[in-house]
Amino acid sequence: MGLLEGKKVFISGGSRGLGKAMCEVFAREGADIAFNYSNSVDDAEHTLARIQKLGRIGLAYKVSVTDKNGIQEMVDDIQREFGDIHILVNNAAINKADNFATTTERSWKSIVDVNVNGLYYVTKPIYKNMIRARYGKILNITSIGAIRALPTSVHYATTKAAVIGFTKCLAREAGNFGISVNAIAAGIYDTDLGHSLPEFFKNMYRNWSIKGCLGRPEDLAEFAAFMVSDRNAYMTGEVVTLDGGTVV
């Protein structure tokens, strides 16, 4: 049996990058997977095909995490299809290379809307169902940019620091209902989001990292599968750094 045999999972932003890798690894470990995406139907269909090839059920929803009503309708549909959602991974996020002095209000609001408000919109309805079930695993993907003075965008780092506060405080409340809440502080990975960063920053990162390279999405996905499994029974309220050993 796999680590996640029989589990029902929702992963936000599951069509590409880290989300896609987690969809595939979690399916391999025995879970049925639902995910949302915002843009590419082709990417979503490819992820669905990978889930199904692994013998699991896949559900894909074209809805933004910023669409509160759309997310609620999606969660209701997943509950009808799957029953209880056992595992939630808050992965969806956006970034934009920017200096704080030139950051526009529109840019600030767009990053906050996806990375913070989207976190709320997705988690709230699923969390309420987990409370009723008295069981759940929530994993939030944050960033080392939230905890180290890296040359990343201030708005992105701010939102990812909010994810850490969300994780720790929700874990305290959720523990009363048999729900664990943890986070991974990710370094830079070989994804579209990672490659949106300036080339000089990625080269600096390779020099900082003990591993000397960007991370592979599957590296994070393999560890994430353990974090949300029942074998990881005692951890909650923790933020685990997974960045190839950066030494800044």
Point out the catalytic residue in the list 121, 127, 156, 189: 156
Do 99 and 148 meet the contact criterion of CB atoms below 8 Å apart?
A: no
- SS3 for the chain, per residue? CCCCCCCEEEECCCCCHHHHHHHHHHHHCCCEEEEEECCCHHHHHHHHHHHHHCCCCEEEEECCCCCHHHHHHHHHHHHHHHCCCCEEEECCCCCCCCCHHHCCHHHHHHHHHHHHHHHHHHHHHHHHHHHHHCCEEEEEEEEHHHCCCCCCCHHHHHHHHHHHHHHHHHHHHHHHHCEEEEEEEECCECCHHHHCCCHHHHHHHHHHECCCCCECHHHHHHHHHHHCCCCCCCCCCCEEEECCCECC
Query: Which two tokens mark 162?
Result: 């909010």
The residues facing 58 across adjacent strands are 33
156 is catalytic: yes
Pairwise CA distance, residues 72 & 214, whole Å? 35
Pairwise CA distance, residues 120 & 189, whole Å? 25
Active site residues: 156
